[in-house]
Every structure is written in C-alpha cells, then in structure tokens.
Structure 1
C-alpha cells in the first residue's frame, strides 16, 4: 500500500532544492543560511512533514536605539579619501534607525586605550574603525564586546583568529597587474615606494609587487625600492632615497597616491622627466590624481561602496553576534593614465 507521508525528497522537489540542503536545514542548518532554513521548515510544515525538525533559529532584531561610531585616528591626513567612505557608511546606517557619529581618537586616548571624549560608551552598539593601526588599542576595543568592523588593519594578523570583521580593498592583484604592465613595457629597474608594515593593505600591495616578478620568472629587484622605517614621505626625503640608489629606477610603484605625488615632485627636483625617465603609479585614485600633470595611473577604490559594505557588515554582525568573523575584499578598478611610459 502506497504511503502518503511527506518525505524530505518531496520537500526538495517542491522547493527546487537538493535533498541534502533540505536534510541539513531540518537538522539545524549547518552551512545553510537562516533565510533558507526558514523557507524549508515553513514548507515542511505546510506539506505536513512528520519527521524531526529543529526549531526555527530565533530572530535577533536590531535594537531601535543606540549609536554606530566611525572611529578614526588620522582623518585629516587623508581628507581626499575618507569623506566618500563616510558618505557610504552614513547612508546605510541612516536606514537602520541607529544614530551615526564620527570620532577622532587623539594621541592621549590612543596611549591610554580610552574611548574618545564626549562619547557615551554605553550608547555604542557598533564601531567602524579605520586609520588605527595600534594593536593594543584595537585589542582594547575588541575586549569591550562591542561589534567591530575594521576597514584595513595592522599588517601582522595572519597567524591568529581575528576578533572582528575585516573589510579590505583588493590590493595584491591590482599591484600585480600594474607591475606586469610595466614589465611588458620593457621596464627592468622597477621599485616599490611605501612602508610594507604600515598596515595590512600596504603589506598586501608589496606582496603583489614581488609576486609579479615571481610569476614572470624573475626575482624582484631590491636596489630601486623606497621602504622607509617611518611614514615620512617628504619630498626632500624621497629625493635623498633616490640619490642613494646605484642608478635611478625607471618605474616606481607607490603604495598610495600621496606617496606617488611626492615621488613625482622629488623626481622633477632631480631633473627627471615623468614619465619619460620615471614612470609612477599610485593607489586610491584621489581627486589630485587627475589634477597633477601628467595624470596619475592609479587604482580606483570604490569608496562609497566601501563605506556601504562596512555598514552592512556591522549591521549584520549586530544581529548575528555568534557567527564566525569574516574578511571581505572589494574589487578595485585600475585607471591607466599618462604617468607611465614604455622603455
């Protein structure tokens, strides 16, 4: 006699899903999203399924009150970059019902590990943090238990589990492509300008620089890079670094646009023509990149999207505090302009 009992396979067919997905959802949903679990369990109930079903995961509504804080340690130094990111964050947060505020962490607060003045810590439900590459301070932030999303981070975090969500722009592949392009144009004396351990993004860009040589069957040259021990990229200092080299490089791949623009000034002060004698690339695509002559070849970071994604990650984390932390990359776009030249 045929059975009229609803089976897992019946539910799978009704939803157009695999039997394995339905089975996992009914057992608790390991590897299955909450939305899919809810859909499957509701369909199972509708079809009169009598087998074992775990209860639906409890929803965790975002609280109606509280503030999301954008913490930064050096906003003014990168005033051409961060406003668009903040715009993306604020637009997304404003739709959530939370308050949004920007706070600068001062030197004494950084040293003491304290919250910025005039900030009510009890009111803070989430933090987006950038330009703060002090490990002790970040450790103190995570110890509060307040959900935290870092846009970029300290560079040496590869051998430990991160106690926060990390959002990065894609770094390594973009620089790899720029260096590969310079090699195709016949450049041999190529250097990198930037402090690799300044932050994780700089480190990944430097790794992309070296990887481009390895994948082309060459060893990365060491004599033409400017790898300072401090974050000092003053024009006079860059001139001195260039003069210390056995011969001038034919191309410098810079960790960001600010460094690239000062490299161009330093090169001109030394009588070098850009790009005829020295090709220069940057990273960030700040507004000055198209105002300088020659226009700077660089990597465009979609800054508003970066801010939106940071806010989305934080809002999700507030609602899902027990889920594993995530590292997310946003793709960039290379902007080829006339600051590079073939040999």
Structure 2
C-alpha cells in the first residue's frame, strides 16, 4: 500500500480505504488506485458486497463427499459449527462437493448467486477448487487445510508440536528407535506430523532410520502387514499419523506374533474412536474438535468485518492422551 501511495502521491490510508471498499475516497481516485495495484502486480482481498437487501445471516459449509463421510472426526467439527451458528442466529447451508464439481471447477448455485455471507471449507477439496471459491470474494475460512497457493484464513491443528510431544514421550520412556507410519501425500497434516516426528528425533540426537519411515503407505491392512513382514527387525515404537493407522498397525504386529506394548509401543494421532476400541487402547494425541468448530466460526465472523486485514493461520493446541499401548521397552 505504501508503494502505491508513493506512486500516486497520496496517503497510505487512502489506498487502504480504496482497496477495502470503504468510503473516504472519490470513485475516480478509487479506480486509479485499483489500476495502479494491478499495474504493479499486487493482489488484495476484494471487498464483498451482499446482493440481497439488508444483512444476510447465513453461511455455507463446503466439504468433499469423503470428508462428510468421516463422521468420527469431521462430523464432530460440523456439529460444533452447527451449534455455534445457532448461538449467533446464523443459518448454515451444507454443500458437498463431488468429484465432477471438483474437476470441472463448478461452484454450487448458493455461491454463484452470492446468497451467503461467509464460507467455511472443511478439510481438503483441491487447491484449484478452493481458489475458485475465493474468486467469489465471499469471506472464507479453511478448516484443517492450508497451502502456500491459497490466500485465506485457516484454522489448523498444531500438528508439528503435537507430534513432537508424542515422540518425545516415547523417547522419555526409553525408546531409542521409533518408526513413522502415514501417507504424507494424502494430507498436509500428515506431512506436518512427519516433521514433528523428525524434529523430536533431532532434538534428542537420535538417528533417523529411513527403513522405519513408511511415509507412502495406505490405510490398508494387507499392505501394512506386507511391509512389516519384510522387515528384519522392528523399532522400539511406532508413531502413526492417525488412529486408523494405529489400529491397523497394532493388528498387523499382533498377527506377526508381537506383543503390544511389551515388545513394541504404539502412539497415534486424533483421539478418535478407533484409538479407544483398539486392544490395547492406543496412546494418542487429542484434538479439541468442538473448539475447532467454535474457533473457525469466530474467525469467519471476524473476517466479514475486517476484509482488508492480513490473512491468518490459527494453530489449535493438542494434548497427549496416555493409554495402554505404550511402555518402557524391555
């Protein structure tokens, strides 16, 4: 804004008012500022104007069909958002995005006619599709997803710190060889959990063993037991990127005749139902899903009134839940 102000010999405040759609500058000056911003190659948040008369009191919640099917995780976030909307007198419109809509970049009618005041996007759809949504100019907040090519607010789990704490706990138990399981290409969250795992090993000055980093493995029992069977030895512990992998890994190791946690400890992430029904119950990293929904809606309401402010990434804390799948190695 200062560069544009200097070029036009006007105040930085005038540039801010023009680009945010506020009063205080003439239309002629506003257009000159917008043209100068484009000429310099700058991008900025377009001011959103409701087409309907009076303030709208509705938002849209978008997610892939896969995300909506994950009731134990995303379902809890959705319910939390629904409760918060009720408190604020907002109506929430649920909009699944199927594969055809995603590949063809087709927006639902509710966004095309701009009949909602704000948008929440739950988890990953595709970066191109999310950017297509952002082109509407409607204030948008992402939940549990972010990417350098996506310029909007995000509410995220502090995956790195959560993973660091979990692996550090395993190290404090006496584990000196720790493996990682999780397909990092599936989600940025899993990649960040791998980073937290590596950070904890580095902090403890423990070696990283590539043979025990399964960062491309699917949530498939057959594939997991196949990879484990081909190993000459097992580490002291495994850290899993989610509870489903923890459940499958426990089952696979038990099929191979190994005792959990007497011979190998297992820790996972999310504190979902699978971590609780696994035998033995899995030590895991807890995410406050109710707070996820509450914080996401709070940020969206704030963004509606502060559209010219810089975008933010909000990291929510985690908590380690110790159960029976971890113990000091024999």
- TM range, normalised to the smaller chain? 0.7 to 0.9
Question: Residue 292 of structure 1 is aligned with which of 256, 271, 278?
Answer: 278
Give 2:244's aligned residue: 258
Give 1:3's aligned residue: none
Q: Does 1:113 align with 2:101?
A: no
State the aligned residue count.
280
Q: Please, what TM-score do these two structures have when normalized by structure 1?
A: 0.75
Matches within 5 A, 1:163-312: 163-228=151-216, 232-312=218-298
Q: Does 1:136 align with 2:131?
A: no
With over 3 angstroms needed to count, the CA separation of the structure-2 counterparts of 1:129 and 1:188, relative to structure 1, is same
Distance in 1 between residues matched to 2:251 and 2:95, nearest whole Å: 33
Q: SS at the partner of 1:214?
A: helix
Q: 2:95 touches 2:108 (CA, 8 Å); kept in 1?
A: yes
Report the CA distance between 1:254 and its aligned residue. Answer: 0.7
Matches within 5 A, 1:52-131: 64-73=55-64, 74-116=66-108, 121-131=113-123
Distance in 2 between residues matched to 1:335 and 1:326, nearest whole Å: 29
Please list the CA deviations of residues 274-323 of structure 1 after superposition, one character each: whole Å capped at 9, or x if unmatched: 11222111111112322221111001111011100000001111111111
After superposition, the CA RMSD in angstroms is 2.4
Distance in 2 between residues matched to 1:216 and 1:300, nearest whole Å: 23
Unaligned runs of 5+ in 2: 1-12, 14-47
Report the CA distance between 1:194 and its aligned residue. Answer: 0.6
Unaligned runs of 5+ in 1: 1-27, 29-59
With over 3 angstroms needed to count, the CA separation of the structure-2 counterparts of 1:184 and 1:214, relative to structure 1, is same
Please list the CA deviations of residues 125-177 of structure 1 after superposition, one character each: whole Å capped at 9, or x if unmatched: 211112324211122111221211111225x52xx6x4210111111112112
Rg larger in structure: 1
Distance in 1 between residues matched to 2:173 and 2:100, nearest whole Å: 49
Q: 2:68 touches 2:75 (CA, 8 Å); kept in 1?
A: no
Q: Please, what TM-score do these two structures have when normalized by structure 2?
A: 0.78
Q: SS at the partner of 1:191?
A: strand
Distance in 2 between residues matched to 1:140 and 1:246, nearest whole Å: 49
Report the CA distance between 1:77 and its aligned residue. Answer: 4.5
Please list the CA deviations of residues 25-59 of structure 1 after superposition, one character each: whole Å capped at 9, or x if unmatched: xxx8xxxxxxxxxxxxxxxxxxxxxxxxxxxxxxx
Q: 1:61 touches 1:319 (CA, 8 Å); kept in 2?
A: no
Q: SS at the partner of 2:301?
A: helix
Report the CA distance between 1:255 and its aligned residue. Answer: 0.7
Please list the CA deviations of residues 66-94 of structure 1 after superposition, one character each: whole Å capped at 9, or x if unmatched: 53111111235421112221122112222
Distance in 1 between residues matched to 2:132 and 2:49, nearest whole Å: 27
Q: 1:68 touches 1:124 (CA, 8 Å); kept in 2?
A: yes
Q: 1:279 touches 1:341 (CA, 8 Å); kept in 2?
A: yes
| 326-335 vs 73-82, greater mean Cα deviation | 73-82
